[in-house]
Amino acid sequence: MEVLERLRRDELNAVLTVVEGVEPGEGPLSGLPVAVKDNIATAGVRTTAGSKILENYVPPYDATVVKRLKKAGAAIVAKTNLDEFAMGSTGENSAFGPTKNPHDPSLVPGGSSSGSAALVGAGVVPVALGSDTGGSIRLPAAFCNVWGFKPTYGRVSRYGLIAFASSLDVIGPIARDIDTLAAVMEVISGPDDRDATTLNRPPFSRWKAEEFARRGRYRIGVVSDHLRIVSEEIRERFLSLIDRLSREGNEVVEVSLKGGRFALPAYHVIATAEASSNLARYDGVRYGVRLEGRDMLETYVRTRSLFGREVKRRIMLGTFVLSHGYYEAYYLKALKARRLIKEEVEGWFKDVDVVLTPTNPTLPPKIGAGFSPVEYYRLDTLTVPFSLAGVPVLNVPLGSFVGAQVVAPFGEDERAVGFGMYVSRFL
């Protein structure tokens, strides 16, 4: 199998485990090689979450999305590198080293689904699964010039996903073309008894997406606030797309996101609070690596010292905002900001069919650029509002490390993907 040879060579540090001896099954995805982000459980294949603390963890079960892919005939061929516990925007926070951008190895590929996007961008696999908490599918998809989709929260089961922030985490596909992305979405979506947060809605319908793509003549909203904070090159590429859409007979109107200035701080309060709670389970008692100490406290300390610097930072921030006296001052205020952003985003779709905005505010930095944590966090400025709102968002690759987000109403994933199908005709 040629794809396995390319995975073994792995010049991008995008692969953590090559899955050998895979026989594809029969079904709608028969023979399709799929790489899976290494925070998604695969039975009998180690799942590290990019962390030393889970370096040798082998799950006894498949995540629901993996089980559905296998049932559809797909071949799971690799587990991909990622920022540790999906905490990062560049792919540099992995305990197993940074992933390289397939189009320029000196640049970051984006994170946290760095390995998945890099393998698709390099043409090694046609599609990979990623997870998105604040932009972790969309940003690497933009940096690696591929399609990436964050579904509506609850449209795809999270059973088997190693949790970062449970109210924000979603699993979605990264693909070389929009049709492959839609085919995978059709398979992995739908309700799941093992995940109580899944929506009671039928699986994604490729037919409905294609029907929306054929409609034409859309009313498109453009987030004016975002155009003021992106780099000149990104603004030019994005406006070139908007100009083409206008020439195709679509109506373009400006929309604003006044609550957008609260999105990044609200996201980091909520996400770190949930991470602090979720990662408390990695204590060396139940599973994962255990480093023995003289007593239980020292065992905890030694074991949890295996977390990387960024994970430790977010656990500490989350513990702080949940602590007595700060819960109301930070966490409850962040939840209020989230509600306001969600209401504002939902209000857009009374007047427009879809909303477009750039995916990345800047071009990808060099690996090892040494930015401050806040500078790295700002890479997610344009993606986190839609994570907080829980709505479906598609990254459309515009080339040269630039992407555009297609935002659709909550639950209408077919609209976002269908508009992507429409746009793909003249990219």
Rg for the chain, CA atoms, rounded: 20
Catalytic residue among 94, 114, 131, 136: 136
Q: pLDDT tens per residue, the chain (427 residues)?
A: 689 999 999 999 999 999 998 887 899 999 999 999 999 999 999 999 999 999 999 999 999 999 999 999 999 999 999 999 999 999 999 999 999 999 999 999 999 999 999 999 999 999 999 999 999 999 999 999 999 999 999 999 999 999 999 999 999 999 999 999 999 999 999 999 999 999 999 999 999 999 999 998 999 999 999 999 999 999 999 999 999 999 999 999 999 999 999 999 999 999 999 999 999 999 888 777 888 888 888 888 888 999 999 999 999 999 999 988 888 889 999 999 999 999 999 999 999 999 999 999 999 999 999 888 899 999 999 999 999 999 999 999 999 999 999 999 999 999 999 999 999 998 8
* Contact by Cβ (8 Å): 66, 42: yes
Q: Is 37 a catalytic residue?
A: yes
DSSP class of 146: -
Catalytic residue among 37, 70, 100, 342: 37
Find residue 17's DSSP bridge partners. 79
Which residues, including other chains, have CB under 8 Å from residue 25's CB and lie 6 or more apart?
70, 71, 72, 73, 74
* Contact by Cβ (8 Å): 120, 109: no
Compute the distance between CA of residue 48 and CA of residue 39 in angstroms, rounded to an integer.
7
Catalytic residue among 112, 131, 189, 276: 112
pTM of the model: 0.97
Taking the domains of the chain in order of start, what are their residue ranges?
2-215, 260-338
- Which homologous superfamily does the CATH classification assign to the domain defined by 2-215? Amidase signature (AS) domain (3.90.1300.10)
Q: Is 79 a catalytic residue?
A: no
Q: Is 387 a catalytic residue?
A: no
